[in-house]
Amino acid sequence: MEWNYKNEDKLLTITLKEEIDHHTVEKIRRKIDNEIQRYMPKKVVFDFNYVNFMDSAGIGLLIGRYKITNMLRRNFRNKEYNYKCKKNIGDVRCAKNYTNSKREDCGKSRRK
Amino acid sequence: MSNICENEMKLEFTSKSNNEAFARITVAAFASQLDPTIEELADIKTAVSEAVTNCIIHAYEGKEGIIKILCQVFAGSIQIEISDTGKGIEDIETAKQPLYTSKPNLERSGMGFTIMESFMDEMKVESIVGLGTKVTMKKIIKKE
């Protein structure tokens, strides 16, 4: 994982790498939270271009960071992602948009 | 589609989180004999990772236990059975609901079963409280 902070824009870009699963997510979570608390950025951008694998642990990580940045009234954005985590990023969007909609709607678009 | 098993593989490992990558890579390597696309292989890897993570977090709750995987290759499909002897699931239907998690404090997304269900073609969950859980998934590998 790498991060880049631009002071003039108060923009923190976090570049995630390799594999995101339940085993690796603990370390990543701690690092990201440290960086958010250290810089207190206005915007947090996640770059998934170098992620080879991601499961629901990655979705939990994103939802958690979304809640934190929301609490701090910061902006949160998923930058780019490759086809390897495209499906799972769809689940994050679904979870973010989930308010009063039916739970059954989640994941249905991909079901055959 | 043929019901005759053409090849079979069994895997047993302890419920340690660093075995998640080992499990999904091994199953993907075994599935590669069906000549799947990269996307089909990624679907299998993700579904296996979800099932194994469930065994570690929910079935054994971080304690040591054994996770068993049985893979069977049929003509044009692969069946993967992932079982544990952990605490079992009380209400399978609730557990399968998207965004439902019994451990919200662990920052889980609650999307495990939804991902397994949508990435694979068939999924069946059998569980007995106190005895364990078995998840059976099937993926059809399309031939061009």
Q: Which residues of chain B have pLDDT under 70?
A: 1-2, 143-144
Which chain A residues touch B57 with a CB distance below 8 Å? 22
**Does residue B2 form part of some domain?**
no
Separation between Cα atoms, residue B96 and residue B141, nearest integer Å? 25
CATH number where B33 lies: 3.30.565.10
The reply to whether residue B53 touches residue A60, judged by beta carbons under 8 angstroms, is no
Q: Which of B54, B107, B122, B126 is catalytic?
A: B54
Which chain B residues touch A29 with a CB distance below 8 Å? 107
Question: What pLDDT is attached to residue A43?
Answer: 84
**Does residue B54 form part of some domain?**
yes
**Does residue B115 form part of some domain?**
yes
Quick check: A8 contacting B, CB < 8 Å? no
**Does residue B1 form part of some domain?**
no
Instruction: Please give the residue range of the domain that contains residue B99.
Output: 7-140
Closest partner residue to A60 (CB to CB) among B46, B49, B109 is B109
Residues 6+ apart with CB under 8 A from A65: A32, A33, A36, A44, A46, A76
* Minimum distance, in Å, between the CA of residue A8 and any CA atom of chain B: 32
Counting the structural domains of chain B, the total is 1
Q: Which of B50, B90, B93, B126 is catalytic?
A: B50
Tens digit of pLDDT at every position of chain A (112 positions): 677 777 767 888 889 988 999 999 988 998 888 888 888 888 888 888 889 999 999 888 888 888 888 777 666 666 656 666 666 666 655 555 543 344 444 454 444 4
**Does residue B131 form part of some domain?**
yes
Pick the closest to residue A87 from B20, B38, B42 (CA basis): B42
Give this complex's ipTM: 0.83
Write out pLDDT tens, residues A35-47. 888 888 888 888 8
Q: Are A17 and A50 in contact (CB under 8 A)?
A: yes
